[in-house]
Amino acid sequence: MARRALVATAASIVVLAPLAWFWQASLMPGTYSIMDGHGGHQHHGRGVHTLVADPARAADVRVTLVARKERFRLPSGRAFDGYTVNGTSPGPTVRAVQGQLVEVTLVNESVPDGATVHWHGIDVPNAADGVAGVTQDAVPPGGSFTYRFVAEQAGTYWYHSHQVSHEQVQKGLLGAVVIEPGTPRGGVVALVHRYGAVRTVNGYAGDVVQPSAAGERARVRVINTDNGPMTSWVTGAPFTLAAIDGTEVREPAPVTGQGVLVTSGGRADIEVVVPEAGARIELGGDTAIVLSPPGSVAGKRSPAPARMVDPLAYGAPAAVAPIDPGRVNREHEYSIGRRPGFLDGRPGLWWTVNGRMFPDVPDFRVAEGDVVRFTVSNHSGEVHPMHLHGHHALVTSRDGVPATGSPWWTDSLNVASGETYEIVFVADNPGLWMDHCHNLPHAAQGLMAHVSYEGVTTPFLIGGPAANSPE
Ligand code: C2O
Ligand code: CU
């Protein structure tokens, strides 16, 4: 009897001791630097706060964004408990002309956890990237922070908090950004966001009528701010996919009976020549922008098409200076998996990067001037919208099939389970940059890593007195 008990105890120690070790090893320190564990602290080098737009240059566009936690009315009339920017959600659209210096002051009036503003898809200087604990401290209630960047890329972008982002973004701390070239392209913003279970466009549920003129070429700037991919398509007219993630497509051909997959965080500018009877830009099926000439009535939506426009082969190819994929001198692998384990003491099935679990994920080192190739593959059983901060990457292949269409520049790439993408970018924007899944709960569950430039350091800490928590 005693012997048996002893054997049983010994057996459970054999099983439990390693488990206890894994559990203990997974506990996250309350405060750490993203530079820990990557060759230790680097105290020398350029601090992220020095990577700024020309401080001597005056701003061309000045905006103040006031963030609040409150119960508010959506444009649809529904009440919602969340966050507003200047009293509404979505917040105001920030507009600039290409080349202008944009200066935005975030004032946190009452967001208890602190807040930041990240400029999703805009390759800002690192100090303006808005990542709590990496490029700044979260702005506490009563505090403010000023972001400065030159709007170098025309296109459709958005902004959102990057502090406790899986909660603050979902609850409304976000808005659109439109940067126009010298000759404006115009168009309407279609910022898609779910408040609770209700999908909205610009805060309205259902059909949103946009008065238009028959025969006019109209651009709808679709922005998917939700955690999952969305299909957009057009009822009543052929359309072109005019821009992807802010970059114009070269010679986009009109399509009918096809959809556009807009991944989480991604943007798609859709253009139609408005027919007399109007056209519907369908946004996931339950909401739409209805381009409606006088006298037309919003027709019924067409069913979601099974075929999708494939950006890999859409539009006309071109050589892309300065990227010559033959000049790649730095290669990284970003392989996404999933396995059972502990994340900060919690047992579960957690995401892995190259087989490792957060925070033991690789730090993707680059040097300024590198031409970098990432091979991004997904073996995890779920789709991941992968978002690299501070850079646009050129997609060169998917599952071994080379890109043949218009140069496909992306900042938010839908990587389905089983897929492998090769992307290439020029390391021309020094800093410490997040490279994470934009299904934000996944990021909070550890699906994130950093691209860090040699010689760049950060004084900011995850945790710490500012309670920085970027995911
Ligand atoms: Cu839209 Cu790291 O974020
Ligand atoms: Cu994900």
Distance CA 49, CA 128 (A): 8
DSSP-assigned states of every residue in 197-259: TEEEETTB-EEEEEE--TT-EEEEEEEE-SSS-EEEEEESS-BEEEEETTEEPSSPPPBSSEE
Q: Which ligand is the nearest neighbour of the Cα of 433?
A: 1
For residues 113 and 173, the answer to whether their CB atoms sit within 8 Å is no
User: Where are the CATH 2.60.40.420 domain residues in the chain?
Assistant: 1-48+316-471, 61-182, 194-309
User: Which residue is it, tokens 């990284």?
Assistant: 332
**11 membership: H or E segment, kind and range:** helix 2-26
Tell me the CATH class for 194-309.
mainly beta
Q: Span 61-182: which CATH code?
A: 2.60.40.420
- Output the pLDDT for position 323: 74
Q: Which ligand is the nearest neighbour of the Cα of 173?
A: 1
- Strand 144-150 to 101-108 pairing: antiparallel
- Output the pLDDT for position 40: 47
- Strand 448-453 to 363-366 pairing: parallel
CA-closest candidate to residue 159, choices 233, 83, 210:
83
- Output the pLDDT for position 159: 98
Measured between its terminal Cα atoms, the distance across the chain in Å is 52
Rounded to the nearest angstrom, the distance between the alpha carbon of 211 and the centre of ligand 1 is 33
The token pair that represents 259 in the structure block: 């959809």
The token pair that represents 456 in the structure block: 């760049």
How many CB atoms are located within 10 Å of the residue 50 CB? 13
- Output the pLDDT for position 298: 77
Tell me the CATH class for 1-48+316-471.
mainly beta
- Output the pLDDT for position 38: 52
- Strand 217-224 to 188-195 pairing: parallel
Q: Which ligand is the nearest neighbour of the Cα of 132?
A: 1
Residue with CA at minimum distance from ligand 1 atom 1:
120
**38 membership: H or E segment, kind and range:** none
For residues 454 and 367, the answer to whether their CB atoms sit within 8 Å is yes
Rounded to the nearest angstrom, the distance between the alpha carbon of 275 and the centre of ligand 1 is 37
Atom number, ligand 1, closest to the C-alpha of residue 436:
2
Atom number, ligand 1, closest to the C-alpha of residue 470:
2
Rounded to the nearest angstrom, the distance between the alpha carbon of 414 and the centre of ligand 2 is 10
User: Which residue is it, tokens 């943007």?
Assistant: 267
**Residues near 196 by beta carbon (within 8 Å), at least 6 away in sequence:** 80
Rounded to the nearest angstrom, the distance between the alpha carbon of 384 and the centre of ligand 2 is 4
Ligand 1: lining residues by beta carbon, under 6 Å:
118, 120, 160, 162, 265, 387, 389, 434, 436, 438
Across the 471 residues of the chain, what is the mean pLDDT of every consecutive 10-residue run? 66 68 69 71 79 97 98 95 98 98 98 98 98 98 98 98 98 98 97 97 96 97 98 98 98 98 98 97 97 91 97 94 80 96 83 89 94 97 98 97 97 98 97 97 93 96 94 94
Rounded to the nearest angstrom, the distance between the alpha carbon of 201 and the centre of ligand 1 is 20
Rounded to the nearest angstrom, the distance between the alpha carbon of 259 and the centre of ligand 1 is 25
- Output the pLDDT for position 119: 98
Residue with CA at minimum distance from ligand 1 atom 3:
120
Alpha helices in 27-175 (DSSP H): 165-168
Q: Which ligand is the nearest neighbour of the Cα of 389?
A: 1
Q: What is the DSSP letter of 183?
A: S
Taken as a whole, the chain contains a residue count of 471
Distance CA 447, CA 64 (A): 32
